[in-house]
């Protein structure tokens, strides 16, 4: 009969090596058996219908660096984007790929927001450099127009 000697090492904490091969690394391109690589809806088990995306009507107040970038991305995705800013010069920095409407006016003015189409908008984004102007524009959009 053989006696097992203690080597002085403790048992490793965590999973065994055989269990580690069952876990999928988020950076791995391999899909373990029993899993699908399709995106799954959180409510059900069916894949999300990415190709049936609804077109959003978006009004963006402020065409600074962030406002221009968001407007270009949403326009490229096919959304109806309306961009409102106080100066026409900021619109010159938009690329030719932008397929939206441009409006000049104060971002927290009721008439300027109406001409930008806020009454039909699904989303309103206030992205000016001024926190006070953003706050006033958002409160106006919420309380007056319900956006």
In this structure, is residue 87 part of a structural domain?
yes
**Angstrom distances, CA of residue 125 to CA of 60, 67, 82, 135:** 5, 8, 10, 11
Does 90 reside within a domain?
yes
Name 80's bridge partners: 57
Do the domain assignments include residue 81?
yes
DSSP-assigned letter for residue 40:
B
Tell me the pLDDT of the chain averaged across its residues: 79
Residue 125 forms part of a structural domain: yes
Domain count, the chain: 1
| 128 found inside a domain | yes
* pLDDT tens sequence across 54-100: 889 999 999 999 999 999 999 998 899 999 999 988 888 887 888 89
CB under 8 A, 24+ apart: contacts of 93-102: 93/63, 93/68, 94/63, 94/68, 97/72, 98/71, 98/72, 99/75, 100/71, 100/75, 102/63
Q: Is residue 25 included in any domain, yes or no?
A: no
Which structural domain, as residue segments, surrounds residue 58?
A: 51-143
| CATH code assigned at 58 | 3.40.50.720
Q: pTM (2 decimals)? A: 0.64
In a domain, residue 19? The reply is no
Per-residue pLDDT tens over the stretch 22-66: 555 554 455 555 555 555 545 555 555 555 568 899 999 999 999
User: If DSSP codes are grouped into helix, strand and coil, which group holds residue 22?
Assistant: coil
Please check whether residue 55 lies inside any domain of the structure: yes
């Amino acid at each position: 009969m053989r006696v097992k000697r203690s080597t002085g090492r403790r048992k490793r904490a965590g999973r065994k090596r055989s269990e580690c091969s069952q876990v999928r690394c988020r950076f791995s391109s391999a899909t373990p058996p029993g899993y699908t690589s399709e995106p799954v809806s959180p409510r059900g088990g069916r894949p999300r219908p990415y190709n049936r995306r609804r077109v959003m009507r978006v009004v963006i107040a402020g065409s600074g660096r962030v406002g221009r970038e968001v407007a270009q991305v949403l326009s490229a995705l096919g959304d109806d984007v309306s961009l409102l800013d106080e100066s026409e010069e900021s619109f010159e920095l938009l690329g030719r790929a932008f397929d939206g409407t441009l409006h000049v006016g104060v971002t927290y003015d009721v008439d300027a927001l109406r001409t930008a189409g806020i009454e039909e908008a699904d989303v309103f984004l206030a992205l000016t450099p001024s926190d006070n102007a953003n706050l006033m524009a958002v409160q106006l959009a919420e309380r007056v127009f319900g956006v």
